[in-house]
Amino acid sequence: SRQLGTVPTATIACIVPTYKRPEGVIAAVNSLLAQERQDFVIILGDDGAGLPDLPHDPRLFAVSLSRNSAVLGLVRNVGLRLSRSEFVAFLDDDNVWTQEHLTVAIRALQDDTDMVYTAVRRRKPDGSEFDILSKPFDRRRFSDESSWVDANAIVLRRSACPLFSRLPRTRATLPKEDWEFVWRVSRRARVKHLPTVTVEYLVNPESFYTSWSVPE
């Protein structure tokens, strides 16, 4: 941070990790710049692959790691440590937000809530719908089930935001970093689900980290 100089700040810090997805990260950033609510900064963390030409906007701050870590939690943590905003949100480089994502999330956070997560529309590579991920939060059920809270749908107060686990994840590694992050947050935080679809999520059948059974 001493080498990088002043990082822009605003009410919301949007953390965007990326690695070798030049078209995807530009689409993700553009969906952020198109938000109804504009009091945000974008902290873009490149995991050592280099960045494409990005949109010119004073709220966009990009940094590249000196080498590839292959640890999503570590890249997100770099963004978290560089940011200073009251609220934090996450968006990966193969997904996009609808225009109202930050509007509905921050409105809910102003109502005695520490973390919210919205509904996620998951799409297959051909653009057709895979499913909609939307379930109220129940910590007891969450302890025994696969995570239905995706990091791309999370917006939370910085005061309730820990760092992500830096353990490398493979297909077989459990729990996944999103589940582990939400489990730690929900230990003390007030969590609320918003059943509005505000995240368009690309299902990758060849994902290294997640095994998908994609219907034909």
pLDDT per residue of the chain (216 residues) written in tens, 0 to 9? 666 778 889 999 999 999 999 999 999 999 999 999 999 999 999 999 999 999 999 999 999 999 999 999 999 999 999 999 999 999 999 999 999 999 999 999 998 899 999 999 999 988 899 999 999 999 999 998 888 999 999 999 999 999 999 888 776 766 788 999 999 999 999 999 999 999 999 997 654 344 444 433
For residue 209, what pLDDT is reported? 41
CB of 1 closer than 8 Å to CB of 28: no
Q: How many helices (H) and strands (E) does the chain have?
A: 5, 9
Give the Cα separation of 126 and 203 in Å (integer): 10
Using alpha carbons, select from 42, 113, 80, 89 the residue that is nearest to residue 198.
89
Whole-model pTM: value is: 0.91
Using alpha carbons, select from 68, 67, 61 the residue that is nearest to residue 15.
61
Using alpha carbons, select from 23, 41, 20, 24 the residue that is nearest to residue 32.
41
Mind giving me the DSSP string for 131-154?
EEE-----HHHHTTS-----GGGE
| CA dihedral (24, 26, 29, 33) positive or negative | negative
Using alpha carbons, select from 74, 33, 28 the residue that is nearest to residue 202.
28
- The label of the residue with tokens 């996450």 reads 90
Q: How far separated are the first and last CA of the chain, in Å rounded? A: 47
